Amino acid sequence: MELFKCLTPAQIVYEATVAEDKKFLWQNHEVWEKLNVASGVDVILKVLTPAEKTKIVETIEAISLLDDNLDELIKNV
């Protein structure tokens, strides 16, 4: 989780979610009411286990590192 050390795992999951999915999953006010939460990050904290958040963040970080490596490869071609 080195790339995102200033964010919590829930914040990373929230920010990495594409806009249309974010609206459906994390910004759904019906879900907020049912879970008694006030934000999308709160939804993530309620519905994902710590292990699930960790696995998702590791996957996001791996994809991000892949992107960095691709940029480097393109520079060297």
pTM for the model stands at 0.77
Tokens 């006010």: give the residue. Answer: 29
Q: For position 68, what pLDDT does the model report?
A: 58
Which positions ≥6 away from 46 have C-beta within 8 Å?
35, 37
Among the ranges given (22-26, 47-51, 69-73), the one the predictor scored with the smallest mean pLDDT? 69-73
pLDDT in tens, 29-67: 999 999 999 999 999 999 999 999 999 999 988 887 765
Residue 11 CA to residue 75 CA, distance in Å, equals 31
Break the chain into its structural domains and give their ranges: 2-75
